Amino acid sequence: MRILINDTIDLQADFGVIATKGHLKAIVTPPILKQFSSTNWPDEHGVDYDTSNPVFNARAVSIPFFCRSELSYQRLVSYLEQNIVNKWHFEAINREYMLRLTNNGNVVHRDGRWWFTLTFSEDKPMDKDYYSPPMMEHKTGFKIDNLDFGWYGCHFLKGHVAEINKPFAPKQNLVIASLQTPGQQYPDKNTYYANKNVQIPILFKGKYILQMLDSLVYKLSRPGFREFDEVATGGWFKFIYRSIEVVDFAPQRSLKINLNLEFQETDVFGLLIDDHGNFLVDDNTNTLSIEL
């Protein structure tokens, strides 16, 4: 299908340039959030993020092309450099994006064609509201803020259980080492856990897959931590959205992604220890613990 620039310029008809297979993967990849302000306390689980005002980074988009003459490449790049910011409309997905050329790449002559990749910046991503999909019927068994991921059209793929169940790594507790005392002191004997990065493979199916993806990203990028619930076990975690990798995309048919989240431990029990480092037990010799 056609790619139009600034409503009237046909990429293939006017410049003789064609976007190569798979270019839409780069186009539909969602932006990531700017880094949150954070403090990593040694005596607390995870990281203390300020998630009160999440905003997206500008999005870098690299699109591969080919043409049958170097002149076609030069004419396209010259046009884009003159206009700087251009509106690109992709008929295959019926969407348009304001893209600013940032790198004109290198043209390579091979197999009778000229191949090149142009890199753009979408300075204000996710600034349009698209159709919000109806509630889906299937259930995944996993919830985001008490709403099943299936509502957003998500189908969890093989490997998601192992990712979700990955253990949290212990953090390095506060250590005091003085020049006047031998060795070092380890005043806090509790165990605290670092956050873990989780990559969940997900499949969307049907006509409105991009709208489903938009709705999921919108939910993931709201202020505050999100809550991830596993219905079968009752386990839950706080998390923040990191990024989405588009693995495979067939317009109006299927979209496969890797959803990258950062989980924070929220349901940990700490063992009670006395001043000498011994576990405390009750009258039945059961080890005592508290919920942290």
Q: pLDDT by residue (tens digit) across 206-218?
A: 999 999 999 999 9
pLDDT reported for residue 128:
66
Q: In CATH, what number is assigned to the domain containing residue 231? A: 2.40.30.200
- Which residue would you say has higher pLDDT here, 288 or 253? 253
* Cβ-contact 170, 191 below 8 angstroms: yes
Question: Could you give the 3-state DSSP secondary structure of residue 109?
Answer: strand
Residues 248, 103 within the same domain: no
pLDDT reported for residue 129:
63
In whole angstroms, give the CA distance from residue 216 to residue 98.
22
Q: What is the pTM of this model?
A: 0.84
Residue-number span of the structural domain to which 87 is assigned: 1-50+58-128
Residues 69, 192 within the same domain: no
Residues 112, 141 within the same domain: no
Residues 159, 109 within the same domain: no
Phi, psi of 191, rounded to the nearest 5 degrees? -100, 130
Residues 94, 149 within the same domain: no
Residues 17, 146 within the same domain: no
In whole angstroms, give the CA distance from residue 156 to residue 159.
9
Integer angstrom CA distances of residue 117 from 61, 72, 245: 10, 14, 19
β-bridge mates for residue 205, sequence order: 254
* Cβ-contact 215, 133 below 8 angstroms: yes
pLDDT-derived band at 130 (thresholds 50, 70, 90) equals low
Among 128, 157, 182, where does a domain finish?
A: 128
pLDDT reported for residue 171:
86
Phi, psi of 165, rounded to the nearest 5 degrees? -90, 5
pLDDT reported for residue 131:
52
In whole angstroms, give the CA distance from residue 48 to residue 38.
5
Residues 155, 79 within the same domain: no
Q: pLDDT by residue (tens digit) across 11-60?
A: 999 999 999 998 999 999 999 999 999 998 877 888 999 999 999 999 99
- Structural domains of the chain, count: 2
Residues 201, 280 within the same domain: yes
Mean pLDDT confidence for 223-243: 93
Which helix (H) or strand (E) is 264 found in, with range?
A: strand 254-264
Integer angstrom CA distances of residue 29 from 14, 127, 159: 27, 14, 21
Residues 228, 272 within the same domain: yes
In whole angstroms, give the CA distance from residue 215 to residue 157.
19
Percentage of the chain surpassing pLDDT 90? 69
In whole angstroms, give the CA distance from residue 240 to residue 222.
10
Residues 144, 38 within the same domain: no
Average pLDDT, the chain: 88
CA atoms within 13 A on the CB side of 218: 15
Among 83, 101, 128, where does a domain finish?
A: 128
Q: How is residue 57 written in tokens?
A: 């980074």
Residues 153, 96 within the same domain: no
Among 128, 157, 187, where does a domain finish?
A: 128
List, as one string, the DSSP characters of 1-70: --EEETTTEEHHHHH-EEEPTTHHHHHHPPP-BPPPEEE--TTSSS-EEE-SS--BPPEEEEEEEEESSH
Task: Give the closest residue to 6 by CA, choosing from 70, 79, 59, 92.
Answer: 79
Q: Decide if pLDDT at 285 tops 50.
A: no
Q: Which residue has the tokens 């709208």?
A: 211
Residues 157, 178 within the same domain: yes
